[in-house]
Structure 1
Amino acid sequence: MDTLTTNRQTLIEAINALPDEKLIELASFVEYLQYKSTRQKEVNNHGSSFLMSIAGLGASAETDISEQDEDILKNEIDSVRGWGLKADDRA
């Protein structure tokens, strides 16, 4: 007999030994486990493709934008005051 069959038989015996009032709690737990396993499959199947589609990753023809990012940040960050308008832009 394989391990899975042995485990199933052990579970069946444990369930049969439970008092009747505990069966409702067990049924709720089993439903939760079913929901959890179904939910994990859905997340694994759709999660990454959904995130990729809303982020638009991979849609750009640019291969190296790191230098552009640095130029943009140089223009937007004041070296003394940090984020915000540069001193020459203030009134």
Structure 2
Amino acid sequence: MDTLSKNREQIIESIKTLPEDSLDELINFVDYLRYQATEKQSEKTSRNFLLSVAALGTSVEKRDN
């Protein structure tokens, strides 16, 4: 079993043992983690775009031959 599968199984088992009133908080935390991941990806994309516009990033140029 790979590490990702082990981590998922561990998370699932931990969730099963949580008291019912903790599930709302868990959902909020998972939503926050998803939001954070989305923001990081968005920031990375924006940074790459700005660097390419400023000609500081990697770009592919078409050449007329």
How would you bin the TM-score normalised by the shorter chain? 0.7 to 0.9
Hey, which bits of structure 1, 4+ residues long, moved more than 4 A? none
C-alpha displacement at 1:51, in angstroms?
A: 7.2
Change (3 A) 1:26 1:51: same
C-alpha displacement at 1:52, in angstroms?
A: 7.4
Structure with the higher fraction of residues in strand conformation = 1
- Structure 1: which 5+ residue stretches go unaligned? 59-91
1:42 is aligned to: 42
Q: Secondary structure at the match of 1:6?
A: helix
In 1, distance between residues paired with 2:2 and 2:48?
36
Q: CA RMSD in A?
A: 1.8
Rg comparison, structure with higher value: 1
1:12 is aligned to: 12
Q: Secondary structure at the match of 1:18?
A: coil
- Structure 2: which 5+ residue stretches go unaligned? 56-65
